């Protein structure tokens, strides 16, 4: 959008059996190349930058059993 947005709440409901991983906590890495924690560690762009979800675009996050919530007080155009 070309306009600023205020008081944004993004809620993502998760399918049954899934749960969000808190990337701020250090999980136990495994030797399993298909594990979600191992894959998340390799989720960097080829130029070394991290994906936008990990650079702190949110003001507050809630990770719940059935959903992940992200909040932002102002969202700039673009």
Question: In this predicted structure, what is the pLDDT of residue 10?
Answer: 93
User: 22: which 2 tokens?
Assistant: 């808190």
Look up the pTM and report it: 0.56
In the predicted model, residues of the chain with pLDDT beneath 70 are 26-55
Question: In this predicted structure, what is the pLDDT of residue 22?
Answer: 76
Domain count, the chain: 1
Question: In this predicted structure, what is the pLDDT of residue 54?
Answer: 46
For tokens 């709440």, the residue is 9
Which three-class secondary structure state does DSSP give residue 19? coil
* Sheet-wide strand order for 5-13: 5-13, 67-75, 60-63
Residue span of the structural domain in which 35 resides = 5-75
Instruction: State the Cα–Cα distance between residues 30 and 19, nearest whole angstrom.
Output: 18
């Amino acid at each position: 959008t070309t306009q600023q947005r205020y008081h944004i709440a993004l809620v993502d409901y998760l399918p049954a059996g899934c749960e969000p991983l808190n990337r701020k906590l250090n999980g136990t890495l495994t030797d399993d190349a298909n594990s979600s924690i191992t894959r998340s560690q390799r989720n960097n762009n080829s130029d070394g930058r991290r994906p936008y979800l990990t650079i702190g675009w949110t003001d507050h996050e809630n990770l719940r059993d059935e959903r992940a919530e992200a909040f932002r007080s102002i969202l700039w155009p673009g």
